[in-house]
Amino acid sequence: MIDASIGAVPGLFLSFAVLALVLALPVGLLAHLRHKPVTVRVLCAVGIAGVCAATLLPAGGGPAGQGAVCDVSPPFPQLFLSSSALLNVALFAPAPFFAVLVLRRPVTVAAVAVLCSGCIELVQAEAAMGRACSATDLVANAAGALIGVAGGVVRSRWRGQGVGWRRTDVLWGGALAVVGALVVTGVFRTSVEPYVPLSERDGVKVQAQALEGADAWITEAAADAFGTKVRVLEIVSEKRGGRYLVTASTDLGDVSGWWPEMELVRAPQVH
């Protein structure tokens, strides 16, 4: 989640600035030496740096102590209601937009961008980096990428640069999309466990009864970890066997623990 990343990743903006500089300098220099437009290529590199900084840097959020999992809750309608999802859309649009202007291969750019969004969610699920894999984020990322591609096509045609649906672009982009989707989907199915938060399932009366008191306990644990001024943004409970993993997402980080044992598994201490 992008809004969570802003507060959870130490030095996010500094990391973005460094990464943007590392990517943009050689890209700009190479474009200058080859007598190609520099600005659009540098902006594409900066867009890629923004995506990497916001999604792949270690953070303090995400489910803890439960292996590779991914929230497969239906992405609609929260895709249009969640500020985090809308930020994902905005984040993933610029790089494909400028990539279309540079490469003039919209189908290939779209395929690469959507596959990259899937790979990012896979890394977030697999790696111990404090990130949370989510189907909603995946759809938001892909939507942003496709919007960026569409914008690049419109901009190119408006400027008379001749971006169109070339046969080679359609063939290569289509083949890449099919093969990449099979590979990424296969990895997800074999190594990532899907789950749906209890709050988003139908018929949760039994679970709600079993979780009575869990919210108050994890909220108190968050206050112990971060101080009484901490703001709890969301509490998610996931059934794991005969018990529940309860996670409180706050403006300072996450606290997780097993219920009804009241055993904390993630509780950073603020000094």
Does 271 reside within a domain?
Answer: no
Tallying the residues shown for the chain, one arrives at 271
Of the two residues 17 and 78, the one the predictor is more confident about is 17
Does 254 reside within a domain?
Answer: yes
Q: Which of 196, 225, 243 is the last residue of a domain?
A: 196
| Phi, psi angles (nearest 5°) of residue 90 | -65, -35
Q: What's the average model confidence in pLDDT over 105-125?
A: 94
Share of the chain above pLDDT 70, in %: 84
Q: Are residues 159 and 146 in the same domain?
A: yes
Q: Are residues 169 and 219 in the same domain?
A: no
Q: Which of 15-19, 54-58, 172-176, 199-203 has the lowest mean pLDDT?
A: 199-203
Q: Which of 34-48, 105-119, 165-179 has the lowest mean pLDDT?
A: 165-179
Q: Are residues 225 and 154 in the same domain?
A: no
Domain that holds residue 123: 2-196
Q: Are residues 132 and 255 in the same domain?
A: no
219 Cα distance to chain centroid = 26
* Interval 21-55: pLDDT, tens: 999 999 999 999 999 999 999 999 999 999 999 88
What DSSP assignment string belongs to 73-104?
---TTHHHH-HHHHHHHHHHSHHHHHHHHHH-
**Whole-number pLDDT of residue 149:** 95
Of the two residues 243 and 98, the one the predictor is more confident about is 98
Q: Are residues 71 and 151 in the same domain?
A: yes
**Whole-number pLDDT of residue 156:** 87
In angstroms, the Cα distances linking 103 to 96, 117, 141, 153, 257 are 10, 19, 21, 11, 49
**Whole-number pLDDT of residue 138:** 92
Q: Are residues 139 and 43 in the same domain?
A: yes
- Total domains in the fold of the chain: 2
**Whole-number pLDDT of residue 178:** 96
Q: Are residues 144 and 46 in the same domain?
A: yes
Query: With bands split at pLDDT 50, 70 and 90, how would you rate the model's confidence at 203?
Result: very low
Q: Which residues contact 214 (CB under 8 A, 6 or more apart)?
A: 235, 237, 244, 246, 259, 260
* Interval 52-107: pLDDT, tens: 998 888 765 544 445 688 888 888 877 777 777 888 999 999 999 999 999 999 99
Q: Which of 196, 214, 229 is the last residue of a domain?
A: 196
Alpha-carbon gap, residue 54 to 17, rounded angstroms: 12
Overall pTM > 0.75: no
Measured at the CA of 59, the angle between CA 53 and CA 64, to 5 degrees, comes to 140
Residue type, 13: F
Strand order from edge to edge, sheet including 69-71: 133-134, 69-71, 193-195
